[in-house]
Amino acid sequence: MKSTFDATAFFGDYPFRGFTQSSLDDFNSRCEQHNISGAAVSSFQQIFWENNLEAARRDADTITQYSNLQHFVVVNPSYPRQLTELEKVLLQFPVSGLRLLPNYHRYHLWDECARDLFILAQEHQLPVQIHREIQDQRMHWMLPVAPLAAAELEWLLANPPEIKVLLSGLSSADLRGLQSKILEAPNVFADLCRVRGPVFGIEKMTELVNAKRLVYGSLWPIQNMASSLLQIEDAQISEEEKAAILCSDFFNGQTVPEF
């Protein structure tokens, strides 16, 4: 059975809407149901709590109970002493990567605090996942949050940090616009969690960006895991390309065969 790794999953209490299932046990059950062998996870509390690293500390003990899950800590580099405290978290707990959500935490990728974060990630050899959005701003109850501007990603891709970078939540239009810049940066990948349509959308993205740079992500529990997976499994692309997306080199560090 081929391995499948979910790059973009969350758990816990989402502040804008209640979900019937959102615990790690719920997520693990869904993974077993859909034959997903591993995932990168963070709690919503890490995004929305002011003391987000306290949420990360609490999550760390829970996540280690699941051998198939990797902890990606959400970082707000604009918060006072965040990077100093993050160093302590990295020393104390197993952390597989870092997640940035600049649209929620209100900083720019070109700000000094973000550049310092990239340096820290390089020192610890940690990949960084940058979310354009995790939810359509029209679906945010009481608090519309605009997606990360394309100009920020264009700036990043003009001189990408020397670490693995995963761009998350890009639409089909975003991927088309950034396609050449992504291909020019060998350490930059993009997930497909918010690519919905048009017909043959996955086929087109694979043709434009190359399957070796595309990554499967469900965005569970905001989105349905099954539909995110099905659009890749049903795509009219080769089995090798499907395998490259579903178990990306971004995570496993293994060489993906040429097509």
254 pLDDT more than 50: no
Give the pTM: 0.94
Reported as a single tens digit per residue, the pLDDT across 37-76 is: 999 999 999 999 999 999 999 999 999 999 999 999 999 9
Residue 156 φ then ψ, to 5°: -60, -45
Predicted pLDDT of residue 76: 98
Q: How many CB atoms lie within 10 A of CB 90?
A: 17
Mean of pLDDT over the chain: 92
CB 53 within 8 A of CB 82: yes
257 pLDDT more than 60: no
Q: Distance of CA 14 to CAs 22, 44, 143, 220, 226, Å?
A: 9, 6, 13, 11, 20
Contact partners, residue 51, CB within 8 Å, separation at least 6 = none
256 pLDDT more than 90: no
Q: Please report, for the chain, the start and end positions of each structural domain, with discontinuous segments joined by +.
A: 5-252
Reported as a single tens digit per residue, the pLDDT across 195-216 is: 876 667 899 899 989 999 999 9
**CA separation for the pair 82, 73 (Å, rounded):** 12
CATH 3.40.190.10 corresponds to the domain 5-252: no
